[in-house]
Every structure is written in structure tokens, then in C-alpha cells.
Structure 1
């Protein structure tokens, strides 16, 4: 690696800044509540941008522009589904989950919330939820590791395994040191960097072409005749499967935890507008980057997912290119850091303390959480170690698994008083299992994205088992009613 290269210098400074933020967060972290949820002290701005950035990953700057470059606007259905899903998640779930988790003895994690909501004395629901989180997040983290390795491999001409280790170290450092505050603050900074890059690049590219709108449109349509057609060569199943990505939001622990950590319910309305606005502008920038790529690179043989990288190197000075390329690293790190902490929280709070060390000290729990992050990172590195690993396959599988396992349970637990612990356990297991089994099949009906059957099967299972099960205890019902009284008061 050449340290006289401006791009290398920018990357080194950027990583050092993230570690610095992690160190600063370390001194603001006093107990496990601070480490896992930041002491429920996040304001609207940080909550919004950290929640938005944490689920985008390298797909936003590499995958989406590349897909648009190859096919055109018909690849926008995933983006459309994600924006709608994110808005509904903020509107339906955020405030209610914040209140319910506070009523349930200030639950720190999603399994912790399920335990309180359904009075899970045997801890079956808690441990089952934690294990499913660990399984799918290991796959999710591996996808981020692969994307980071690809970036370092391409830019600095490093061997894949070396690039993998470098990318992993960059993220593990500040997460391990500073916990939730570190990832929230770094994600906010990184979200700003990402939207700056995505809005700047299409504008500069269009200006560099030096042509009018009509000529630009003609060039794009000449290279991709159906570039502006949203349904070109797409079946109803393909459109439905792409848009169904939005369902995943309701079950992503690393996103839901942001709602649990917000300072108050009153902050959520502002945060929703900021987050969805950020997502919308960022995705518009990503789509425009792909369209610009059709006009700019149509006569070249390029890797579609490298469009953003190529633009950065062709149109900007090395220093500014380094900043734009750091935005790609930002998008990758935003996803990995949240997933690592959510996995660590499940290990520490829902397995280590709940099952083995109920009276462990806060200092002990924080160190267990830090060690858990390192162990999770090692597992993710092992899964990502093969250069043949594909990012999109790993992401889609993990997103569907978490979404189907927890989405129906979260939604029904917040709105349906009659839901029981057995119904919740059934829904989690059926959602996860149906995604895994559906993934093994192909052709015909099995071409539908597995999150759709996962949601349907889990929801039916929850409702059926809860109705045939005996009603929850009066204490559980009373807590549910108390939460809804607070929700109505804050509406």
C-alpha cells in the first residue's frame, strides 16, 4: 500500500477519525445500558441518520448503481419497496416499540422485549430469538466483510484475504471500544458523507458530458432501449419480490434498536422525516449515478458494481476521489457495526446474563460484550474468507431471515393484546425455517423472494397458536394496556 497516494491518506485519516470517535464514546459509556442503547439518549437527528445508514451497506453505492447501469429503472423496485417499508416502520413501529420496551422494564434488546412482553419465565423465547439473531447476523456481517474486502482489493491491489482483514479491523476497533454511542455517532457522520457523494457525483458527471437533456436521453436510450421503463421484461413475481424487501424492516434488530434508544417518543416524528428524506435523496442519487454510467461508460467494458469507483477516479482529483471512495467504506461500515453490536447484545444480555450470570457486574458485562464482538467478527471473517463469496446472496438471505422471523412477531406484539408467548415462539421459528427451506428450492413459485412466504407462514402460525392457547396472564395484559395508555397520551 502506497502511503504517498492521496486516496490511501484519506482512507487512513478516515479510519483514524472513526477510531477517535469510538474512543470518545468509550468515556461516555458507564454501564451495559450505555454500551447497548446509549442510555436511551439519542436525539432525532442522530437516531434518523444512524437508522437510515445502518441498513444500506455497500448496496447503496455499488449494488444499486450497478443494477441501474445494466438494466435501467426497472431495477428501482427494491429501492421503492425499501423507502415505503422504512416509512411504515417509523410510522407504525418506532413510537410504539419505544413505549413498550420502556414499560417492559427498560428492555435493552429485542429478545429482552419479547421476554417482558410475554412473561417468558422459562427463557425459551429469549434464547431462541438470540440464537436466530446470531445465525443470520453472522451471515449479514460476512456480506459486509466481503464488500469491504472487495473495496480494498480493488483500490489498493491487495490480496483478497489481506483486504478482508484490513476492512474487518477498521470496523471492529471503534465498535468494540465505544459500543452503541460510537456506532450511532460514526453512522451519523458516515450518512452525511454518503449523501454528499451520491448527490455530488451525478451533477458533476452530467456537467462533464457537456450535452443537453435531450441528447443525454437519446444516448441512454440508444445504449439501453428500455432504460426508462420501470416494468421492462419484469414479471409480476419479479416486481413483487423486489418491492417485498421493504417488509424486512419490521424485523431487523439493528434498526429496531434505534427506536428503543431514542430520547423520547416526541423525537420520532422529526426523526422519521429526516431518515426517510435521507433515504429518498440517497437512492435518487444512486439511481442517477447508474443512469449517468449508461451515458458515460456505454462504449467501455466495465464491472457494473464499480461504476461509482470509476466515476470517482475519472472525474475528481485524487484527494476528492479519496473522500468519495471513503463514502463506499462508510456505507459498508454502517451496516457491519450495527450488526456486530446487535449480535453482541444478544450474546451478552440474552444468553450470558439471562442464562449463566444473572448477577454479573456492569463492568463484567461490558467486557463480555466487547469479547463477543471479536468472536462474532472472527466467525464472519471465516464465512467471508473465500474470494468467491457473493455479497447480494448473503444480504438477501440474512435480510429475509431476520425480517420473516421477527417482523410479524414485532408488529402483532405491539398491536394485538391476545397474542401469547407460544404464538411468538411459533412465529419466530416458522419465519426463520420457512426462509431457509424456501431458499433451497428454485423455479416456479419458489422464485418468489423468500421473505413473502416467510411472513405469511409466520403470521398464520402466530394467530392460530395464540388463539388455541390460553390467554396471557392478567399481569401481561395489564402491562400491554399500560403501554397503550402511554402511546395514546403521546399521540
Structure 2
């Protein structure tokens, strides 16, 4: 790999670390550490939410999937885009208002205070589910970092993963939510630049070589040149339903995303953030899809051993070193922004929701910040270990966590926001069943027919409604 690429990556990583160091000099309260003290501008929170939402999955997992499947891969991005639109249009204001009303610092804390009679068990169950699935999610991001570095430089995957993970852990510990949001903001611009530059350069290369996109897709076979993958009947319905099912995970159930809505200060900032987020998402998703399809045209299947590495392979092959370094930084940015946010969610769940709120350990605001930093370090180390030991691909790990957390808590949030009869028992049943069904369904033969990302949502919804009706909350006199 060219020296200039190493220099650009080093500068980028040092800049992220510098942001964390800057916030160590600030006197952060626990509210600042967990939710930014509602002091951050809406545009920064929007860029942070978008950078966090698009992770190693977008740059590696989704690109690799579409590269292999062809045009029908558009339905995954369509489902995700609809989810992003729905969350900003219909959920962001409610999250902002509810945070101000209840003065909570996390999604778990909000759910718990809505049902005070069952707050303890809700905090325990929700926190355990989040920690379990998010450690897997975090490991997927760490795997993505190791893969990316290795694919372009041949640098040892283990050491590449450890070094960059250590930087993420460091700046997340130093400034908490504040440093995570500002590093995300920088990272979101790199991601945006990546999906503008790559498809343009790839298309120019296709034109220079005189290649035909349609012919290349047809030559791939397996319906790659069809928007529905050459399927019909039940198979078509199952494919569309499974791919569009990513929509359900965006409906308020991702703690690392909903926290951005909760951190909004007022309606003006929310509208500013909403507009920024939707434009950013449209540009990035279109760029991602075009990059994947152009990669299918330029590189025959089997060109590289791991399809999830096709984007970095294309970047290194088509772009001059100084531009390739920027794009590589963009890929790392996507991974690092999500990883840091997930690490913060794990930290909040353990230190705030379990130790402080559930176990009722008396601790000062500054002491809680110190405890959170220790928890973040330990959680990060566990994530590194799982990443290095796991043989799972990024797509599988993210899909599993998306079903277990996104769908489960999306149902809980939707019921709380839009159905007055939801009860504490209904919420508890939803969390338990969502946790178990995501695991059981993912490991069963049913996963090959309908993804757990879709099934878990409807299972949780049915359970939440039935148990709320069977065990309604007592009316407060």
C-alpha cells in the first residue's frame, strides 16, 4: 500500500483521538457523558445518527451482498431507507419530547419509567438483551476494521483490529456521547464523499473499457439482471419481505440511534437534523447501490475470495493513492462511528441502567462518569476477543443483532407511542420473546425461508398485544 495512504489513515485516526482528548478536559456530568446534555446542534446529531446507522454492514456487508445478487439487492436498501424516513418523520419528535418529560438518559431507562411497577425487571431484561446482542454487533464492526486494513495493505488482521479498536475505546471513554457525536460528524462527511467518488470513477472506468452493465449482469446468472432476482410466486414474496424487513429495525428500537433523537434540544434543531439526515441517506444509498452494480460489471464473481471486500478492492484498484486513502478512511469511519456508539450503549446499559438505577448504587455524577469509562474499556476488550474468535461474516452478525435488538425494542416503542393499552407485563413478555425468538429463529431452518429480521418483529408485536390485553396495568387512582 502506498505511503500516502498510511499517512492519511494515521492523520484521520489521530484526529479522532484528538477529539476524545479535547473532551477529557471538559467537566462532564453523567448527563453530558450519556446524552450530551441536550447541548448539541441538530445537524451534528443528524450526521451522527446517519454515520452510526451505516456501519461495516453498508460498506462491506451490503455492498458485498448486492455485488453477488445483482439488481434485486436494491430491496435491502429500499427497506432501510423507508425505515430511516419513518424514524425521522414520525418518531424523532416523540423521542425528543419524552426525554424532556422524563429526564432519562437511555432507551432502557425511558421504557422503565413508563412502567414504574415493573421498572426493575424491565431494566434487567432490557439491559441484558442489549449487552448480549450489542457485543455481537460491536464484534462485527471490529471484524470489519480488520478485514478492511488487511484487504488493502496486507497488515495483520489481528493487530489491525486491536489497534483501531483501542483508538475507538479511547475516544469513547474520554468524552462519551459528546466525543462520539463529533467524531461521527467528521466520519459522516468521509462516508458521503466515498459514495460520491466511487460510483463516478467506477462508471468512467466501465465507459473506458467499453463494458456493458446489462450484459455483465446477465452473464452472472441467478437473476442478477432482474429487479426481482428472476423469482416469482412465493419465492418472490419471501425475498421481498425478507429484504424489506430491514425497515422494522429502524422503528425506534436501536438504542444507539434513538439516543440521537433524545438528545435533540428543540423543534428547530429537529427539523434541521431531519432534513440533513434524509438528504445524506438518499445520496449514500444511491451511491452504495451504484458502486455494487458497477463492481459486478468490472469484476467477475470469484475475483476475490471474500465478496464483502469488493469495495476496498475496487477503491485500491481504480483510484490514485491519495484519493484511495480518503475513501479507506471513509470505510473505517463507517465502522468506527457505529462501533463507538454501540460501545456507549453497552456502557450506559451496565453503568447507568443496571449499576446506578437497578442496583441503586449511590454514586456521584463524576463517579458515574469514571465508572462508565472503566465499563467501556472492559466491554471493548470483550468485543475484540469475540471479533478475533468469531468466524461469522459481518452480514450474519449484524442481521442477528438487528433482529434481537432492533425488532424487539421497535415493537416496544411503537406500542408505547401509539397504543394506550400497552402494559408493563406486555412489555416484559415482548422483550423476553424477542430475545429468545431472534436466537431460535436464526438457528432454525425457517431462517432460510423468512429472515428473523422480519419474523421477530411480528412475533413480538403479537405477544405484546396479547399479554397487554390479558394483563392490563391497574389504573392509577
For this structure pair, what is the TM-score category when the shorter chain's length is used for normalisation? over 0.9
Q: Distance in 2 between matches of 1:336 and 1:120?
A: 34
Instruction: Work out whether residues 19 and 174 of structure 1, in 8 Å CA contact, stay in contact via their aligned partners in 2.
Output: yes
Counterpart CA distance in 1 for 2:53 and 2:301 is: 34
State whether residues 404 and 434 of structure 2, in contact with CA within 8 Å, keep that contact through their aligned partners in structure 1: yes
Q: Deviations over 1:348-407 (max 9, x none)?
A: 111111133443101110011111111111211121122633211111100110023211
Specify the SS of the correspondent of 1:308.
Answer: helix
Q: Distance in 2 between matches of 1:144 and 1:299?
A: 25
1:298 aligned residue: 300
Task: Quote the residue 1:440 is aligned against.
Answer: 443
Kept after mapping to 1: 8 A contact 2:51/2:187:
yes
Q: Does 1:220 align with 2:191?
A: no
User: SS of 2:20's equivalent?
Assistant: helix
C-alpha change, 1:71 and 1:216, in structure 2 (3 Å) is same
Deviates more, 1:127-136 or 1:292-301: 292-301
Contact preservation (8 Å) 1:44, 1:271: yes
- Closer, same or farther: CA 212–158 of 1 in aligned 2, 3 Å: closer
Equivalents in 1 of 2:450, 2:296: separation in Å? 29
Q: Which residue of 1 aligns with 2:91?
A: 93
What is the match of residue 168 of structure 1? 165
Aligned to 1:254: 256
Greater Cα shift, 18-27 or 247-256: 18-27
1:146/1:389 contact within 8 Å kept: no
Please name the residue that 1:483 is paired with.
Answer: none
Change (3 A) 1:428 1:306: same
For the residues of structure 1 that align with 2:180 and 2:301, how far apart are their CA atoms? 41
SS in 2 for 1:123: helix
Equivalent-residue separation in structure 2 for 1:71 and 1:408 (angstroms): 30
Which residue of structure 2 aligns with residue 272 of structure 1? Answer: 274
Counterpart CA distance in 1 for 2:34 and 2:184 is 15
Question: Which residue matches 1:341?
Answer: 344
- Give per-residue Cα distances to partners, 1:56-114, cap 9 Å, x unaligned: 1122222233223222111111110000011111222211121122212x110111101
Is the contact made by 2:113 and 2:119 (CA closer than 8 Å) also made in structure 1? no
Deviations 1:107-154 (A, max 9, x none): 101111012111146511111111111111011001111111111222
- Which deviates the most, 398-407 or 219-228? 219-228
Residue 222 of structure 1 deviates from its aligned partner by: 5.2
Q: Distance in 1 between matches of 2:248 and 2:94?
A: 18
Partner residue, 1:79: 77
What does the per-residue CA deviation read over 1:188-218, in whole Å, with 9 as the maximum and x for residues that have no partner? 11111011011111112222344599x6445
Higher mean C-alpha displacement, 86-95 vs 268-277? 268-277
Displacement of 1:271 after TM fit? Answer: 1.8
Residues 258 and 439 of structure 1: CA distance in aligned 2, closer, same or farther (over 3 Å) = same
After TM superposition, list the pairs within 5 Å mapping 1:138-153 onto structure 2.
138-153=135-150
Q: For residues 99 and 331 of structure 1, what CA distance do their matches in structure 2 show? A: 29
Give runs of aligned pairs for residues 46-195 of structure 1, distance below 5 A: 46-104=44-102, 106-120=103-117, 123-195=120-192
Counterpart-to-counterpart distance in 2, 1:454 and 1:125: 19
Are 2:380 and 1:377 aligned? yes
Question: Conserved in 1, the CA contact under 8 Å of 2:55 and 2:337?
Answer: yes
**Structure 2 unmatched ranges of 5 or more:** none
2:35 is aligned, of 37, 55, 58, to 37
Match of 1:322 in 2: 325
Contact map agreement 2:115 2:424 (CA 8 A) in 1: yes
**Helix, strand or coil at the partner of 1:30:** coil
Q: CA RMSD in A?
A: 2.1
Alignment of 1:346-425 (within 5 A): 346-386=349-389, 388-425=391-428
What is the aligned partner in structure 2 of residue 486 from structure 1? none
Unaligned runs of 5+ in 1: 476-491
Q: Distance in 2 between matches of 1:13 and 1:360?
A: 38
Q: Deviations over 1:142-194 (max 9, x none)?
A: 11111111112223323332222112112111111111011111111111101
Q: Does the 8 A contact of 2:112 with 2:119 survive in 1?
A: no
